[in-house]
A and B are shown apart, each in its own frame.
Chain A
Amino acid sequence: MAESPLNVAAITSRVHVLGLKWLAKDNELTALAEPERHIRLGATPPAGKTLAEREAAAAVQAHALAAAGYPAAYDARTKGWVTPVEDQGGCGSCVAFGTTAAVESAVRVANNNPNLAVDLSEAQVFYCYGKAAGATCGTGWWPDGALNGFKTGVVDAACFPYTAGDQNCNLCGNWKDRLTAITGWTAITNTSAMKTQISSKGPVSACFTVYNDFFAYSTGIYSPDVQSGVAGGHCVCVVGYNDAEKYWICKNSWGANWGESGFFCIAYNVCGIDSEMWGINGIVDTGWRNNQVIRGLWAIDQDFNAWAYLSDYGWKKLSNNSDNIFYDMLTQVMAAKAAGHAVSVHLTNGVIDQIYS
């Protein structure tokens, strides 16, 4: 049934006939020719389990509804952990967007700051790490490769802004000082563990089979009309779930005009969405933190144990590699606080070891 452009009226009719819980609407993607739509689907699983096999596995995934250990409903958007919706454009780079969104949220969670300005480079993820692994806009990729890139580190988006289309890895000059890295990632196949991860550590990445009617999604809880035909595989970021109504809440990368302001809800057990999800274990707290205001000081009667509160990143311990270092650091953060100077500090595993004031 795939057409160019999509026949949204026909999709709406089928949704009604089947009694599905979502609405279809014309949008920028339904107006595209089929190849331009499908190139946005870049989730290509490695050898071992196909998208169809993942879909079959997800269909029988058990959900322990309202189980102990995690809330029955959770939406990371209400906590402020979710960064703005992006648009991957005409490139099968959804894996870069689905994983980067999860890491950006993990950065906010790790720093307990929902207002933290974090925007990491999907371009580096896809055109550097992905390209080295053989991924192109046409072939797509898979989250484990992208997340391994995040273990090495990814720059902020301004260092390598994203544009759609295969290109060289073109990082800015001081890219080594601008990396954000994760401590590791975990592939999760148990739905309770997925919900625990999302509600405690932050959003996760997931890939699923896209049927052609999905492009026309407007609002509601999506489940497919399989007769619309398989269009391909897609990777997104799962930001929440609801056990009462049995759906996942996902952040897409097709712009804020698509779906529910860029998000969609998808029913449990459909399209392989809950066959596997990828969670972020933690953020490596190393690198420069610029333009920070010292908002607090703390000391205790223990040897060489004093902390400064950075406006965006919270409490950070001062290096105590020597008595001279400790007192010098403490003197400088005190002076910065007294003067109202913004500071740039370098952290190594969460400890302040260099200060510009």
Chain B
Amino acid sequence: MTDTAPTHVPPPAGVGIHVQSLSLQVLSTDELKLLPAGPGKQAMPAHSVTGVAKQAAVAAGTTWQSQKNIVNQWTINQDRNSWIGVAGIGWQKLSTASDSGCVALSMISGNALITKASVSYRTEADGMVHEIYVF
């Protein structure tokens, strides 16, 4: 596979939205239907990450989300099953395409959560996150 390279640059120092911790709410049945299942119908998070945002509908194709904040992560003892909770968006499953890709996406998501750094990420029609910038 030909490796892809990043194409976006960080904003000037100091730019970005810092989000405080948010309370969890149980997702409705309809919202749970919006979450991508992944291989073998893997488990998925059942709580929303914010009291305001509802789970976002899955876009038909490539979609970029910019200047977002990761406020939660979720994982379970299943291979390649890691999720990020995004303020104003909801749960997004990390791509299951490769072991190291899934771990790297999860690691830098954790860094964004710790540092409250803003992220930009790409989702595809499968509803999963395939690429993340942390600035």
Binding site for B on A (CB under 8 A): 295-307, 309, 314-315, 317, 323, 326-327, 330-331, 334, 337-338
Contact = CB atoms under 8 A, between A and B. Distances in A.
B128 to A, nearest CB: 8
Contacts of A330: 104, 107-108
A300 B107 contact: no
B111 A306 contact: no
Contacts of B130: 300-301
Of listed A297, A323, A334, residue having the most chain B CB within 10 A: A297
A298 B134 contact: yes
Interface string B90-109: 00001111111111110110
Contacts of A337: 111, 115, 117, 134
14 contacts: A295-B13, A297-B134, A298-B131, A299-B108, A300-B130, A301-B98, A301-B131, A302-B1, A302-B98, A305-B101, A314-B9, A323-B100, A330-B107, A337-B134
Given A300-B4, A301-B102, A331 B135 contact: no
Given A300-B104, A301-B102, 4 more contacts: A300-B101, A301-B94, A301-B130, A334-B107
Nearest to B115: A338
A348 to B, nearest CB: 16
A114 to B, nearest CB: 14
B60 interface: no
A317 B13 CA distance: 22
Given A299-B105, A300-B101, A327-B103, A338 B4 contact: no
Nearest to B108: A297
The B contact surface, by secondary structure, is mixed
A302 B94 CA distance: 12
Given A305-B3, A337-B115, A338-B114, A299 B101 contact: yes
A298 B100 contact: no
A331 B110 CA distance: 11
B6 A307 contact: yes
Nearest to A302: B101
Given A334-B108, A337-B115, A300 B131 contact: yes
B49 interface: no
Given A296-B134, A338-B114, A338-B115, A303 B108 contact: no
Contacts of A327: 100, 103, 107
B132 interface: yes
B83 interface: no
Nearest to B119: A297
Contacts of A314: 9
Counting chain A CB atoms within 10 Å of each CB, the highest count among B95, B105, B108 belongs to: B108
Interface string B48-66: 0000000000000000000
Given A305-B101, A309-B9, A299 B107 contact: yes
B97 A301 contact: yes
Given A296-B9, A297-B111, A334-B107, A303 B133 contact: no
B10 A299 contact: no
Contacts of A301: 94-98, 101-102, 105, 128, 130-131
A295 B107 CA distance: 16
A110 B9 CA distance: 15
A307 B134 CA distance: 10
Contacts of B134: 296-298, 337
Given A306-B108, A330-B108, A299 B9 contact: no
A338 B4 CA distance: 25
Contacts of A303: 1, 98-101
Contacts of B114: 338
Given A309-B9, A338-B111, A298 B103 contact: no
B5 A307 contact: yes
A317 B101 contact: no
B135 A296 contact: yes
Nearest to A295: B10
B10 A306 contact: no
A299 to B, nearest CB: 4
- The 8 A-B residue pairs with the shortest CB-CB distance, nearest first, are A301-B95, A301-B97, A299-B104, A301-B101, A298-B6, A297-B134, A334-B111, A296-B10
Nearest to A337: B111
Given A297-B134, A299-B104, A327-B103, A305 B4 contact: yes
A331 B111 CA distance: 9
